[in-house]
């Protein structure tokens, strides 16, 4: 993470008229996160944070954590293709791996840690698998806890069954989405999905969080040293 932060500080760039630093980025490319089908060995009738299991695809990684919400179904207890993956004809937006949610049989959320108060913009690439979706299926992207103001993007399966729901219309292609979160207050990025079939799959890749970099204590110390060095040079 220290390496990422330093890279982010150096990668300051201009977006439109406002400047922003890349605070955090993941493309889910860690090969150690790959594995087999994921099984939730917890109580699928109770909402809970998911844990990684040996030999199974990682649902949690460096800077991201998965949560499960029960809707009375079998959830991820029946073994599902969720978490970090390199599989699928859809390919990936960036690199060889991404993150998938399929056959959730409940609610799955992926939360991206931190940057509350310092983030101004987020971007993410998503791919909705091309299949029929029903009213119970949905996919959305959120900032913070407010379910109305905090919803950045939302697709559902109403009017679906292959007949043109918004999920179906958005399916079959990678989409790169950017959101201004500067007016939304404290919060963090999270992605939410519901589905109940193995063919109903949501893929995520290339997640970026931008803002005004707040130096970590280590980086602050380095900046302090640089300041001392430059002052010394001026003498």
Residues that bind Ca ion (CB under 5 A): 27-28, 78, 80, 92, 94-95, 97-98, 103, 105, 134, 137, 196-197, 205
Comparison of 103 and 156: residue with beta carbon closer to Ca ion: 103
Q: Annotate 175-225 with DSSP letters as a single string.
A: EEEEEE-TTS-S--EEEEEEE-STT-EEEEEEEEEEE-----HHHHHHHHH
Between 103 and 109, name the residue whose CB sits nearer to Ca ion: 103
Residues in CB range of 40: below 8 A, 6 or more apart:
50, 68, 75, 76, 77
Nearer to Ca ion, 30 or 146 (CB): 30
Rg of the chain's alpha carbons, rounded to an integer?
19
Partners of 108 in the β-ladder = 68, 193
Which residue, 174 or 179, has its beta carbon nearer to Ca ion? 174
The CB-of-188 to Ca ion minimum distance in angstroms stands at 20
Instruction: Quote the least distance from Cβ 58 to Ca ion, whole Å.
Output: 14
Q: Which residue shows structure tokens 């201004």?
A: 180
N residues, the chain: 235
User: Least distance (Å) from Ca ion to the CB of residue 101?
Assistant: 10
- For the bound state, the minimum distance from the C-beta of residue 22 to Ca ion, rounded and expressed in Å, comes to 16
């Amino acid at each position: 993470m220290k390496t990422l932060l330093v890279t982010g500080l150096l990668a300051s760039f201009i977006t439109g008229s406002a400047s922003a630093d890349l605070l955090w980025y993941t493309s889910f490319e860690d090969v150690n996160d790959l594995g087999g089908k994921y099984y939730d060995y917890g109580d699928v009738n109770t909402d809970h944070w998911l844990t990684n299991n040996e030999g199974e695809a990682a649902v949690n990684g460096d800077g991201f954590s998965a949560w499960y919400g029960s809707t009375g179904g079998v959830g991820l207890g029946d073994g599902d293709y969720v978490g970090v993956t390199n599989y699928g004809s859809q390919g990936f937006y960036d690199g060889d791996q991404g993150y998938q949610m399929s056959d959730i049989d409940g609610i799955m959320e992926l939360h991206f840690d931190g940057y509350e108060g310092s983030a101004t913009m987020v971007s993410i690439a998503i791919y909705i698998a091309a299949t029929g979706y029903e009213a119970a299926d949905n996919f959305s992207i959120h900032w913070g806890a407010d379910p109305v103001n905090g919803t950045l993007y939302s697709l559902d399966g109403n009017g679906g069954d292959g007949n043109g729901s918004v999920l179906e219309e958005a399916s079959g292609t990678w989409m790169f989405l950017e959101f201004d979160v500067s007016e939304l207050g404290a919060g963090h990025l999270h992605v939410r999905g519901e589905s109940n079939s193995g063919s109903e799959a949501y893929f995520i890749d290339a997640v970026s969080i931008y803002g005004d970099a707040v130096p970590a204590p280590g980086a602050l110390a380095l900046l302090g040293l640089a300041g001392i060095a430059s002052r010394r040079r001026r003498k």
